[in-house]
Chain A
């Protein structure tokens, strides 16, 4: 069977653009030289507003924790594993 691309390749691909954009947006910084947080006492004074997508992931975890049946801690290796494999 001949390979059938699901999408046409473009000369300037989305991946190449993402590569350039990420580097341009976030210049290289050595955390050791300019700590991003404190490892021992994290600075949470400047709160970050979670995005809707981050909240959805947290809600997914909490629903597993709060529903009757095997709790997340029984499920976590499989939940994480399957999600890692089948994402």
Chain B
């Protein structure tokens, strides 16, 4: 499956690792005190190296996701300078969105004004917030929940659009139903991110969940979503719902091709560029986007190996799955080392979720309509892209 027309490419940009929080599950934990940041010279080279290459990769928009560390510890003037660079270097060659993922513990009135006026960040921001649990503490070990709650209220009062990401790990697992209820009651769409990437082995031992725990948590969230009068969207459950309905609809199958469909690239503070499956793994950087054209990175031997590995995982874990083709197989293809262990040991959690969702919706009017349509010839639907 190639990228669809007018689709975006995501660069998760590690502008600095410096952070005021010390969440012990953070995969950047060992570098959170490092104040170094990307230089404007490095960023200029980055922009030059992606401006045309993303078009050749079939993408029409770049989403720069400014990440850290805590991006709001960087002076706002720096983002204005980055915006100037983007206009100068990228210009009109490709559409650009600037997004940010913040822990929302640092939000001055000036930040709010900056966001409200969309002076750099576009349209929407991402907030990392577990709601309940004990992990999101500052350098002195103080839980910052009250601050984040107050700042969420300020974002809402100021009319700044935002979504959230919650880490599903040992400490948040008991609260997952309450977490959904919190976001749903406020109409805040969010993503559940099962602990998937670690800095060292003891993090895995302390925070990782097993297959059954993840599947149980996500099925509980789906059931809560299904019954909710507001049904605020929650990802990746929303993705899995689409796969389940596609499986019920039948029809043509499509498969994820990592060579042309890889969408998310992580840019480390020094410019080293990774795919999500092997972020920070020694010898697995595709290259350095401060020094090389992005097209060169896409065709590098390291990326060719990463693509081959992703295809091998899909072959191993998806080939016999009844949903493959309705689920594109992205989970297995892009699996991190922690996720690969789960796939090898227990199987694919996405498959379990799709089975659960089909069980829930197969007697509904939606499934009936899909079945009726499936029984009729639909030549107009057989369109290859």
State the A residues within 8 Å of B (CB).
1-9, 13-16, 18-19, 21-23, 25-32, 35-37, 39-40, 42, 44, 47-59, 61-62, 65-66, 68-78, 80-81, 83-87
Contacts and interface: CB of A to CB of B under 8 A. Distances in A.
A14 B181 CA distance: 14
Nearest to B113: A3
A81 to B, nearest CB: 6
Nearest to B110: A3
Interface residues of B, number: 97
Contacts of A87: 124, 161, 163, 189, 233
Contact of B328 (A7, A25, A76): A76
Contact of B360 (A14, A31, A48): A48
B381 A35 contact: no
Given A7-B157, A73-B254, A85 B242 contact: no
Nearest to B155: A15
Contact of B158 (A6, A22, A44, A65): A6
A52 to B, nearest CB: 7
B175 A68 contact: no
Interface stretch (B83-91, B218-226, B314-322): B218-226
Contact of A32 (B213, B355, B385): B213
B361 interface: yes
A39 B106 CA distance: 39
A84 B212 contact: no
Interface stretch (B11-19, B146-154, B295-303): B146-154
A65 B4 CA distance: 15
Contacts of B220: 31, 36-37
A22 B181 contact: yes
Given A26-B181, A70-B385, A74-B1, 18 more contacts: A3-B109, A3-B158, A5-B158, A6-B157, A13-B153, A14-B153, A30-B173, A35-B216, A36-B216, A44-B356, A51-B230, A53-B231, A55-B366, A74-B254, A76-B239, A77-B263, A86-B123, A87-B124
Nearest to B349: A39
A3 B157 CA distance: 11
A16 to B, nearest CB: 6
B226 A76 contact: no
B178 A42 contact: no
